[in-house]
Amino acid sequence: MIHELKTWPKYFNMVNLGLKTFELRKDDRRFELGDTLVLKEYLPDEEKFTGNELRVSVVCILGHDEFPGIVFGYVVMGIEVLARYIVR
């Protein structure tokens, strides 16, 4: 499945540079291994998208069942970058 997600510039850039290899998200979409996340850079103060996108694959998922420190209803997903679409 493909999920489009708003991502603030700080975190978008960290994923783009390979410094952040995970996503912490509310599991309201029932994320699964192998899903593709389209991380869309979003400017919250301006309430608009920049046009920059990263497509990443979910390679690992940890929920509260596997790791008690994770709040119920949230997941930590290990991600790998598949493609970059940068318009800057």
Which residue range is the domain that position 72 belongs to? 2-85
* Number of compact structural domains in the chain: 1
User: How confident is the model over 24-73, as pLDDT tens digits?
Assistant: 999 999 999 999 999 999 999 999 999 999 999 999 999 998 888 999 99
Q: Which of 66, 77, 69, 88 is nearest to 29 (CA)?
A: 77
Residue 29 sits in a domain whose CATH number is 2.30.130.30
pTM value is: 0.93
